Amino acid sequence: MAETERADLGAMVLRLGRRLLAMEQPILERHGVTMWAYVVLTALRDGPARAQASLAAAINADKTRLIPVLDDLQRRGLIEREPDPADRRVRLLGLTPEGRRLQQAVQAEIRKGEEVILAKIKDQAAFVRALGELSA
């Protein structure tokens, strides 16, 4: 196929994204979390506590849309919100042990599903690396 005959990157990424979301949705439902909740848990996984505003910026979410997700995660004991000692108006977010366990369990299942999709590609590491670079 000539270069001009291939689908546009946006079209290909959209189809892949839809396929991935269709694979992930039943996993998220089994664990009782939404995609936004999983995104929040994953963003909080590796770092020290984060302010709500910096979390919203990191995951490209509107702060007002994020509040109900955070409320639900806190109510379920998956995250903690603590006042920032340096600025009592700011709330710092962190995972609870249960939140960490849930994030890891969901991610493990998602990665298994991704393996099925990636099995079609000879150089999986190069694809994942390129996708990471393009999406950064």
Res 101 pLDDT > 80: yes
Q: What is the pLDDT of residues 53-83, one digit of tens each?
A: 889 998 999 888 899 999 999 999 999 998 8
Q: N- to C-terminal Cα distance for the chain?
A: 28
pLDDT at 1 over 70: no
What integer pLDDT is reported at residue 88 of this predicted model?
83
Give the per-residue pLDDT at 48.
Answer: 73
Most confident of 38-42, 56-60, 62-66, 128-132: 38-42
SS3 content of the chain, % helix, strand, coil (to 5): 65, 10, 20
Coil vs helix vs strand at 78? coil
- Model confidence, pTM: 0.87
- What is the average pLDDT score of the chain? 92
What is the β-pairing status of strands 50-51 and 87-95?
antiparallel
| Contact criterion met (CB below 8 Å) for 35 and 24 | yes
Residues 12-33 pLDDT 10s: 999 999 999 999 999 999 999 9
3-state secondary structure at position 37: helix
Q: Could you give the percent of the chain with pLDDT greater than 70?
A: 98
